[in-house]
Copies of this chain bind each other. A is one copy, B any other.
Amino acid sequence: MHVDADDLTAFRRELHRHPEPAWCEFYTTARIVEALRARDVDELHVGPDALEESDEPRMSLPDQATRAEWKDRAVEAGADPDLLGRLDGGNTGAVAVIEQGEGPTVGLRVDIDALPITESDDEDHVPAAEGFRSENEGYMHACGHDAHATLGLGVLDAVRHSDFSGTLKVFFQPAEERVAGGGPMSRSGHLDDVDALYAVHIGLDHPTGEIVAGVGGFLAVSGFEAEFTGSSAHAGAHPEQGDNAIQAMADAISNMYAVPRHADGPTRVNAGVVEGGTASNIVAERARMECEVRGQTTDLMEYMWEKTGRVLDGAATTHDVEVERTLNSRAPSAESDEELASIVADVAEGVEGVDSIMDHDDLGGSEDATYLMNRVEQQGGRACYVGLGTDHPGGHHTSTFDVDEASLRIGVETLAGAIEALSETDA
Chain A residues with CB under 8 Å of chain B are 219, 221, 223-224, 234-242, 244, 246-247, 249-251, 253-255, 257-264, 266-284, 287, 289-292, 294, 303, 310-311, 313-320, 328, 364-366
Interchain residue pairs with CB less than 8 A apart (11) = A238-B263, A239-B270, A240-B263, A250-B274, A254-B258, A257-B259, A271-B280, A272-B279, A274-B284, A274-B287, A281-B292
Closest residue on chain B to residue A255 by CB atoms: B318
A242, A261, A318 interface centre (most CB from chain B within 10 Å): A318
Inter-chain contact A270/B223, CB cutoff 8 Å? no
CB-CB < 8 A to A267: which residues of B?
261
Number of copies: 4
Inter-chain contact B239/A261, CB cutoff 8 Å? yes
CA of A267 to CA of B235 in the docked complex: distance in angstroms?
10
Inter-chain contact A272/B282, CB cutoff 8 Å? yes
Name the 5 nearest CB pairs between A and B, nearest first: A314-B318, A235-B270, A257-B258, A250-B253, A314-B317
Inter-chain contact B317/A313, CB cutoff 8 Å? yes
CB-CB < 8 A to A313: which residues of B?
317-318
Inter-chain contact B268/A273, CB cutoff 8 Å? no
Q: Given that A279-B272, A310-B320 are known contacts, is A236 also in contact with B219, CB under 8 Å in the complex?
A: yes
CB-CB < 8 A to A260: which residues of B?
239-240, 242, 244, 257, 283
Inter-chain contact A236/B274, CB cutoff 8 Å? no
Inter-chain contact B254/A237, CB cutoff 8 Å? no
Inter-chain contact B266/A266, CB cutoff 8 Å? yes
State the Cβ distance, A413 to closest chain B Cβ, in Å.
31
Q: 15 additional contacts, CB 8 Å, given A249-B250, A273-B276?
A: A235-B272, A236-B292, A236-B366, A239-B268, A242-B260, A246-B253, A246-B272, A246-B273, A246-B274, A250-B250, A254-B258, A271-B284, A280-B291, A310-B320, A313-B318
CA of A258 to CA of B313 in the docked complex: distance in angstroms?
18
Inter-chain contact B254/A247, CB cutoff 8 Å? yes
Inter-chain contact A258/B268, CB cutoff 8 Å? no
Inter-chain contact A268/B236, CB cutoff 8 Å? yes
State the Cβ distance, A191 to closest chain B Cβ, in Å.
25
CB-CB < 8 A to A311: which residues of B?
318
CB-CB < 8 A to A246: which residues of B?
253, 271-274, 289
State the Cβ distance, A275 to closest chain B Cβ, in Å.
4
Closest residue on chain B to residue A240 by CB atoms: B262
CB-CB < 8 A to A314: which residues of B?
251, 314-319
CB-CB < 8 A to A273: which residues of B?
246, 276-280, 284
Return the contact of A254 from the options B250, B275, B280 (Cβ within 8 A).
B250
State the Cβ distance, A210 to closest chain B Cβ, in Å.
20
Inter-chain contact B247/A257, CB cutoff 8 Å? yes
CB-CB < 8 A to A270: which residues of B?
235, 239, 280-283
Inter-chain contact B261/A258, CB cutoff 8 Å? no
CA of A235 to CA of B294 in the docked complex: distance in angstroms?
9
CB-CB < 8 A to A366: which residues of B?
236
Return the contact of A258 from the options B247, B262, B264, B292 (Cβ within 8 A).
B247
Inter-chain contact A236/B284, CB cutoff 8 Å? no
Inter-chain contact A268/B278, CB cutoff 8 Å? no
Inter-chain contact B290/A280, CB cutoff 8 Å? yes
CB-CB < 8 A to A261: which residues of B?
239-240, 261, 266-269
A239, A270, A289 interface centre (most CB from chain B within 10 Å): A270
CA of A289 to CA of B274 in the docked complex: distance in angstroms?
10
Closest residue on chain B to residue A320 by CB atoms: B310
CA of A241 to CA of B258 in the docked complex: distance in angstroms?
14
A238, A275, A277 interface centre (most CB from chain B within 10 Å): A277
Inter-chain contact A234/B317, CB cutoff 8 Å? no
